[in-house]
Amino acid sequence: MASVLESTPPRFTADDVAALTAELFGLGGDARDLGSERDQTFLVEAAGVVKISNAAENPANLELEAAAIEYALRADPDLPIARQLRSATHQGHVVRLFERMPGRHGGPHLSDAAVRAYGTTHARLARALRGFFHPAAGRELLWDLKHAAELRQHLEHLGDRRRLVEPVLDRYEEQVAPLWPALPAQVVHGDMNLGNVLLDEHGFVSGIVDFGDSCHTAAVADLAVAIASLMRGRAVDDAFRAARIAVDGYQSRAPLEQAELDVLADLVATRMAAIVTISAWRTARYPENAAYIQAEDADSWALLERWDPEQWRHELGGARLTVPTDALAGRREAAVGALLTNLTYDEPVHVVRGEGVWLIDDAGRRLLDGYNNVPVVGHGHPRVTEAIVRQTRTLNTHARYLYEPLIELAERLLATMPGLDTVMLVNSGSEANDVAWRIAAGVTGHDGAVITEHAYHGVTAAIADLSPEEWPPGYVPPHVTRIPPTLELGPTAPLAATFLDAGLTSDGIRPATAERAQALLQATHDAGGLFVADEVQIGYGRSGEGLWMYRHLGLEPDLVTLGKPMGNGYPVAAVLTRRELVERFPFAGTVFSTFGGNPVAAQAALAVLDVIEDERLVAHAKHVGGLLRERIRSLGHPAIRDVRGIGLLTGVELDTPERARDVVNRLRADGVLVGRTGPRDDVLKIRPPLIFDEPHVELLVAALGASLH
């Protein structure tokens, strides 16, 4: 592997090279030695840069370099790469003439802007080489961090200081090498350090030279080389600050995978270990070239002396230190406790990841999510997460500018709701209901509201009054009439609006029937009010009866509100209504919500609609929900008083609230998450992502049966 590093570099003088350039290429003037590790490099006036290769160099490697340069320039013609102009052979040495690039060598103290741009340029180069292949790229170079374990054979040259390098290599072998086969790999430049670029007067890269270390390896190893170079000459804190800015620049063009971020800090340390080790070995062998060889040693040693693997990884990979659940719960209580709702379950669920119908806790335990309706297409659905990430990279702004995703979303929603023609995009179900309430009150000139007994519609001041589920004892807003789950509305004062969640979720999951809901709508209109179908909870296919339950019930509401599952967890919500109503709303044309319908929110919502369609989740919800209720009923347990619901919204009424509480906690201990609802909190609420499938039903029902005994 070390053959070229071991063989003596060529030893031509500047005069030799000036003469040679004239002879071989018919060009040139004075030559000046630029220094090199294993070759010789000269600047020859009026010709370019002349590189005389080591006689031991395999010609295939030089072909690889030339081909890589040409390929990268085809992929990204604006990259400032020095082209190879000519090539000839002289006394067994390949002599190549390269384009002379503008700028000068500089650094390591670049401005933050230059550091960021360095990362960006590097990422462009890496991307430009992504599709490149050459058989010689499989060569083994000691500088390639893939082979860092081989550095051990040279540690003897470090004397005492090998104690600073050995632990870095130990960690590399334990933590990085096993992951190597799974890291994204490609042909890379291999040595994007400051010595191989030219900089303009602002420190921005104006030339990329020396593909002499290009090979096929992990892309993040190539990045580590650049990062180590940019960290040089800075105090540790500032070095990491600069490193993070460079990584930002890199990721603006070539986002890293988590696995790459995880190993980056260790690779940076390994690169520094490689610099000092190879340098010590080669200095012993070629003392006359010591100045060139040792140029980066001091800075590398200074950083290696401050090496702390966990801290470096935290600084560079953003890894969070794991916090014990008890301590975290204590901090939650201390920092946010008073207003925020309590944690669910006696033993808090400390979640770190979600995947499909599973939530994964801090101990890596998988909990079956039978509770959360927001991740309607499953936790972390790739279509949705990618839509969010891609749009975030491209553009995120607000609805005072014209952009397509918002309009497309509005049109897609309207197409599912015949009779409605106007959409307002907001950020939460509460905000949607608040806007609906303002429209209703503004248009009717009334302030009376009708809701079900134990309804929940949201958290704003106006909507909290319409959410008796959360009312403190004795709180009774005078303008609000509560009706039972049978939806019977007696004579009432003039109304602004009736809000109905047709699943009657917080009333204990007692889905409305068409007849009762239609009668309520009629009674609302008779009282001069508007009817709001709150589909925040029951919409998006949960009912298994089309996307929207109000349509299944044959209602023609004046307003429809959407939220929760709409962005699969990304905040996005909507109010849909008729233009004719909005035009009578005194605040028409002035309602704006900064984040409402932003491009990212809109893309998330579009992706959710697509996935629900592609995966046929509405029909699936109907089938699996039906099976779930049937299987729970078949448990035949005396504590189960009723099993009811629609689609993937199921309520299991138990004999006492204490029993419900106990069952919920036992299920949680058993790795199954469900909730509780109803005026007496005696109803199990089972409301999973719509991808919940038959095996999940069996798991849940088995656990439920066990928890009841």
Which positions lie near ligand PMP, rule CB under 6 A? 428-430, 433, 456-459, 501, 534, 536-537, 563-564
- Candidates 408, 442, 468, 463; CA nearest to 558 is 442
How far, in Å, CA of 53 to CA of 84, rounded?
Answer: 14
249-277 burial by CB neighbour count: b if 16+ within 10 A, else e? bbbebbebeeebbbbbbbbbbbbbbbbbb
How far, in Å, CA of 16 to CA of 11, rounded?
Answer: 10
The answer to whether the CB of 17 falls within 8 A of the CB of 30 is no
CB of 341: closest distance to ligand PMP in angstroms?
11
Nearest residue to ligand PMP by CB is 429
> Residue 534 or residue 653: which is nearer to ligand PMP going by CB?
534
> Residue 116 or residue 457: which is nearer to ligand PMP going by CB?
457
How far, in Å, CA of 593 to CA of 582, rounded?
Answer: 17
The answer to whether the CB of 687 falls within 8 A of the CB of 648 is yes
CB of 636: closest distance to ligand PMP in angstroms?
31
CB of 679: closest distance to ligand PMP in angstroms?
15
CB of 432: closest distance to ligand PMP in angstroms?
7
Strands 358-361 and 351-355 come out as: antiparallel
CB of 558: closest distance to ligand PMP in angstroms?
17
CB of 71: closest distance to ligand PMP in angstroms?
50
Could you say which DSSP state residue 697 is in? Answer: H
> Residue 269 or residue 436: which is nearer to ligand PMP going by CB?
436
**Dihedral sign computed on CA atoms, order 542, 543, 544, 547:** negative
List beta partners, residue 197: 208
- Candidates 556, 499, 557, 496; CA nearest to 528 is 496
> Residue 573 or residue 664: which is nearer to ligand PMP going by CB?
573
In the chain, what is the straight-line distance between the N-terminal and C-terminal CA atoms, in Å? Answer: 68
CB of 386: closest distance to ligand PMP in angstroms?
24
> Residue 209 or residue 435: which is nearer to ligand PMP going by CB?
435
> Residue 52 or residue 384: which is nearer to ligand PMP going by CB?
384
Could you say which DSSP state residue 375 is in? Answer: S
CB of 563: closest distance to ligand PMP in angstroms?
4
User: Cα torsion at 154, 157, 163, 169 (round to 10°)?
Assistant: -20
CB of 685: closest distance to ligand PMP in angstroms?
11
> Residue 213 or residue 535: which is nearer to ligand PMP going by CB?
535
CB of 614: closest distance to ligand PMP in angstroms?
25
> Residue 384 or residue 426: which is nearer to ligand PMP going by CB?
426
> Residue 214 or residue 561: which is nearer to ligand PMP going by CB?
561
CB of 503: closest distance to ligand PMP in angstroms?
8
> Residue 452 or residue 603: which is nearer to ligand PMP going by CB?
452
Could you say which DSSP state residue 137 is in? Answer: G
Q: Tokens standing for 242?
A: 């600069």
CB of 421: closest distance to ligand PMP in angstroms?
23
The answer to whether the CB of 377 falls within 8 A of the CB of 366 is no
- Candidates 81, 27, 92, 36; CA nearest to 59 is 92
Q: Which helix (H) or strand (E) holds 500?
A: strand 495-500
Strands 366-369 and 672-673 come out as: parallel
CB of 581: closest distance to ligand PMP in angstroms?
20
How far, in Å, CA of 375 to CA of 357, rounded?
Answer: 9
The answer to whether the CB of 486 falls within 8 A of the CB of 438 is no
> Residue 269 or residue 464: which is nearer to ligand PMP going by CB?
464
User: Cα torsion at 459, 460, 463, 467 (round to 10°)?
Assistant: 20
- Candidates 388, 352, 372; CA nearest to 570 is 388
CB of 598: closest distance to ligand PMP in angstroms?
16
- Candidates 677, 660, 226; CA nearest to 455 is 677
Strands 48-52 and 93-98 come out as: antiparallel
> Residue 51 or residue 457: which is nearer to ligand PMP going by CB?
457
The answer to whether the CB of 461 falls within 8 A of the CB of 599 is no
CB of 367: closest distance to ligand PMP in angstroms?
21
The answer to whether the CB of 50 falls within 8 A of the CB of 36 is no
CB of 456: closest distance to ligand PMP in angstroms?
5
How far, in Å, CA of 589 to CA of 207, rounded?
Answer: 53
List beta partners, residue 369: 673
C-alpha 553 chain-centroid distance: 39
How far, in Å, CA of 294 to CA of 618, rounded?
Answer: 67
> Residue 120 or residue 506: which is nearer to ligand PMP going by CB?
506
> Residue 221 or residue 425: which is nearer to ligand PMP going by CB?
425
> Residue 149 or residue 459: which is nearer to ligand PMP going by CB?
459
> Residue 40 or residue 452: which is nearer to ligand PMP going by CB?
452
Phi and psi at 320, nearest 5°, equal -85, 140
